[in-house]
Structure 1
């Protein structure tokens, strides 16, 4: 860390302190389905002041900030309790993918409106029977030469924020008879059309952030393919690499805040006097420090399998934190306040974190990748 980085940290802190007040202060800590439109307005305020797309090249509307400065922003943003942004999939995933693989026309069409938060994106990867095993996708797309359009049929599931998005990036099988990693293409598909149906999935938290998306003759122009036909696997894997970038450090700051708040609660309600719970909180704290060091190392060292290890570590840690929160809260954690299904933050943490070891690649898939691709062990038998 140098003086320039220190000055940048103070700049971020000062801006957040100045703007996260008044109507915006009410959004502190908001995420998931909470105050979605208000958070989108906040996200646009960030864009207006140059706080989106920090790592993008300047010629594409970004600020070309160093990895260190990007990490500083995400850390300070989380420490300020600023609300969860609504543009992660566009800004952090699709944008960098288009910058690397997209045509000039695609970049000109999509990058400006991603930066300004005027169009939102969702991710069409997982399918029934092809969740973490992305290579098993069955959604197909056929090129209608006369219309110069791709025609898409199939189903995606667990599609975060599809009901709020304008576009979806889709992995589809475009070569008949192909299997596994071959014959896939990466398509950009508008959601506002007759051939697309979106059905929200109600979660155990009572929210509906995830959706099923059905394609029945859905269409997108032939030019809306990223990379070459059949090269979708390479593009999709590159996008997943962007997913585990510097924003993960901000995620870790959020985890640290949850941990510290839980320790404060345990101190206040007497749970910290229980030697077993005290030891478990201490263990959770020690594991967090190891996790943070590993996250920083994975950003600065090209270590095979580092992303997979990081996902395994933080997902398990966060899930255990949710379980520990229920024990710290005691019997009151078993009931919801009010007549409605009104969960407090710890109940919501516990319930939502059950999915941490599944989404973004399940623990089983992460372990298989590490075993087969990093350690060179025999591949798991497939039925």
Structure 2
């Protein structure tokens, strides 16, 4: 691990295993504050490496954190990875960047298949947790660090997951910056952190905030936050005895095309406002803005599916409030004698806010065309079933 240091912040470089002869990738880790101090904040961007708005926001955070460090305002430790997935960054095919799914090491989504640390931690804390949260929380964090240390790291992807978790797993706050295809800014967090994620939503100006009830669906956020709930339930403890001591929201910074220094500066400033309000960073705390929405369950978020193959022609824009059965779009059959009159209607499956569209306009039957955030849980949406593949 190479290190660089100045008065502002430290930069570490973590090398990943050589994936093939002559190639090797690495993670650049930015650090502020005192190592091991509390509270600890971990922020990463680009786990889906083709989602660059979060990367732009993370870059904008660096000078803000430098200023806070220079002013003596960082009370704990802050760790930031502007580019959390060098594997995905390297994946281009025929001039197109593909950073959501791995080309190697079993393929799969980079934000799926994260380890079930809750099950790994249970035997490590058996008989060690009581009724005092001040004693239980350090025990849990130590066990989580031990569990991560025991993870395999033979392949590049295994080492990548282990490296990220070694930085994040004992943090108080874990922010995972993503984006959608074409979308409004939206947030996800565990239902136990509804107050915190709604506060963050107020700071970010988010028109959609969704609550997850799953804890071990294999996503990065649940890998960090879920073990606290899983261990508590397995051991029959109360939330007072073992709080969910890691707030791990996913922040979806609009769509893939929204790589804007103006938006990123705004988002970085809003994240800093939340950190100041929560005592992570000193300085003037801005007034909390009014919420733009109520929190809704992920089980109430429905997928708009393509009924046929063809070209998508939208009639409802992103941000539209829709009713079940509304005419959202048409799918045009480009092989028809008159393609314009061949449209198959796409109707809304749910009442709520249409907050995303797919990025491309040519579709296959069953493709997800968009997403609607609704207040009512849907019978066909399973707990733990995430929004997109």
Q: TM-score, normalised by structure 2?
A: 0.29
Structure with a larger share of its residues in strand: 2
Q: TM-score, normalised by structure 1?
A: 0.29
Higher relative contact order (CA 8 A, sep 6+): 2
